[in-house]
Amino acid sequence: MKEPVTAMYSCPYCGREFEVETYQSINAEEEDLRDRCVSGDLFRVSCPHCKKEYMIQYPFVYLDRKHKFVLWISDREVPASVRSISDPLHLQGYRFRRVPALKELPEKIQIFEDELDDRLVELAKYDCFIEFVDNKKGNPEDITSIEYQRTENQVMKINVRTGDRGMAFLIPVNMVEEEMMQDIERYEVDNRSFPVVNTEWIIDLFRESSGQA
């Protein structure tokens, strides 16, 4: 594990600068860092001037050797220095993804630790959205989030949340696999290019197929 780097950060509330610790890379074998990534504590800061608390996002690499995946956490494209690690690890079966927002990080980690294909999860979440709306459980604008929870006995649990309420869906993995295989080319991604696979990705796929793009 690389030691944290101290950097100067400007508070978005008061505009004054203060020092924060950031990481260039995080190894999942360091359980404390892994847990702080999932909880968000690693990115939570408090301005010493105005006392505001919030989360900051900075680019870093998240490496999990046990489950064989690498994440680039940034809203910017992957730099050449990070891309260079994909070729040797790709041959070992690693998966590579860019995670553009911190809020997506805990779910992405959970999906890959559960040994799932994140494309399947996004498709299952999309199916839950359609079922929620079609069955008159609520309006699309009422939905605040659709979250993957876990997989047990090859059944995914996904929660559709509307404000402070939620509805759980249990989705068999093999059912979503069959759906994907019916049009597998639509869901293909270039693993070594650190593709973004998230809610926006799956929505864009269906928009393109319906001619709305």
Dump pLDDT digits (tens) for 118-161. 999 999 999 999 999 888 777 888 899 999 999 999 999 999 99
| pTM of this prediction exceeds 0.95 | no
At residue 89, the pLDDT reads 94
**Domain boundaries, given as residue ranges, for the chain:** 5-113, 118-209
* Listed residue (88, 73, 6) closest to 40, CA to CA: 73
Under-70 pLDDT residues of the chain: 1-2, 209-213
Nearest to 104 by CA among 53, 27, 43: 43
Q: DSSP letters of the chain?
A: -PPPEEEEEE-TTT--EEEEEE-SEEETTSHHHHHHHHHSGGGEEE-TTT--EEE----EEEEETTTTEEEEE-SSPPPHHHHTTHHHHHTTT-EEEEE-SGGGHHHHHHHHHTT--HHHHHHHHHHHHHHHHHTTS--GGG--EEEEEEEETTEEEEEEEETTEEEEEEEEHHHHHHHHHTTGGGG---GGG----SHHHHHHHHHHHTT--
d(CA 164, CA 152): 25
Tokens representing residue 35 in the block: 């847990």
Between helices 105-113 and 118-134, what is the axis angle to 10°? 110
Residue 142: its pLDDT value, please? Answer: 86
What pLDDT shows up at residue 3? 78
- Give me the pLDDT at residue 33, please: 93
Order of strands, sheet of 155-162, starting from the edge strand that comes earlier in the sequence? 145-152, 155-162, 165-172
Q: Residue 212: its pLDDT value, please?
A: 59
